[in-house]
Amino acid sequence: MAEYDAIADEYAASKQLPWRLHVEQPTLFGLIGDVRGKSVLDLACGDGIYARTLADRGATRVHGVDLSAGMIELARRAEAARSRGITYSVCDASDVRGLEGFDVVMAAYLFNYAQDRAQLRRMAESAFRSLRPGGRLCGVNDNPRTAPARYRYYPEFSFVRYIEKPQREGSAITWAIQPPTGEPCMFDNFWIAPETYREVFEQVGFTEFRFVDAHVAPGADPAPFSDFLEDCPICGISAVRPADS
């Protein structure tokens, strides 16, 4: 059973926390930009929350992929309740085949599941294969640039985030999030060094790979999130499949 099968409802509830709405979303959707008329592959789509957002914003072809049958079940239920034309498959994002030509690959918290360089590379290769030449990879991620002291309890933001010591590639990063309602949800991400990310994405053929500091929406007041935004636990991630590749 995939880890998220057991926490699908709790995870979905955590998406209502203010830092999700006012930092995670502006960071992710700021990177993705205007999707009207575009095709989007959502790698590690979870319950499809952001696939639905992109379909609602005018993306014409949206497909979501997730390892967790429980998460895909929630996504399909939402599609059945209100059809947006989104399709889904249960699939390991390290080995996506036959889903090609997308303008955008979105990866919201996928790469932080790689437990070593080889797995990160397979995930990046899947993303590269699925993009059309000139297409863009955009996502959010557990921030691998975090200073050791910043793995801690965030009382104002209803979560703890700790890292296994000694810190080395593959160290588990344990998150425990208390959603506004219901039971807490716990899951592990894994730490891979920022330089390894840069090297792997370059080796796979991506250009313009970068980590992007998380932020609130343009014009919004960042003050309520100041402790969250300082050396923020999450970051944006972005790269391009070159037009001549």
Ligand X SMILES: C[S@@+](CC[C@H](N)C(=O)[O-])C[C@H]1O[C@@H](n2cnc3c(N)ncnc32)[C@H](O)[C@@H]1O
Residues lying near ligand X in the complex (CB under 6 A) are found at 2, 4, 44-46, 49-50, 66-68, 71, 92-94, 108-110, 113
Report d(CA 81, CA 83) in Å as an integer. Answer: 7
Q: Report in angstroms how near the CB of residue 69 gets to ligand X at its nearest.
A: 9
Which of 118, 158, 4 lies closest to 67 in space, CA to CA?
4
Sheet holding 159-163, edge to edge: 153-154, 159-163, 172-177, 185-190
CB of 15 or CB of 198, closer to ligand X: 15
- Exposed/middle/buried for 44, CB within 10 Å: 0-12, 13-18, 19+? buried
Distances (CA, A) of 145 to 7, 54, 61, 123, 232: 27, 28, 34, 20, 9
Q: Report in angstroms how near the CB of residue 228 gets to ligand X at its nearest.
A: 17
Which of 13, 54, 1 lies closest to 177 in space, CA to CA?
13
Q: Report in angstroms how near the CB of residue 110 gets to ligand X at its nearest.
A: 6
CB of 45 or CB of 229, closer to ligand X: 45
Q: Report in angstroms how near the CB of residue 4 gets to ligand X at its nearest.
A: 4
CB of 45 or CB of 216, closer to ligand X: 45
Q: Report in angstroms how near the CB of residue 59 gets to ligand X at its nearest.
A: 15
Q: Which two tokens stand for residue 207?
A: 């250009």
Report d(CA 42, CA 223) in Å as an integer. Answer: 31
Residue nearest to ligand X as judged by C-beta position: 46
CB of 129 or CB of 245, closer to ligand X: 129
CB of 178 or CB of 245, closer to ligand X: 178
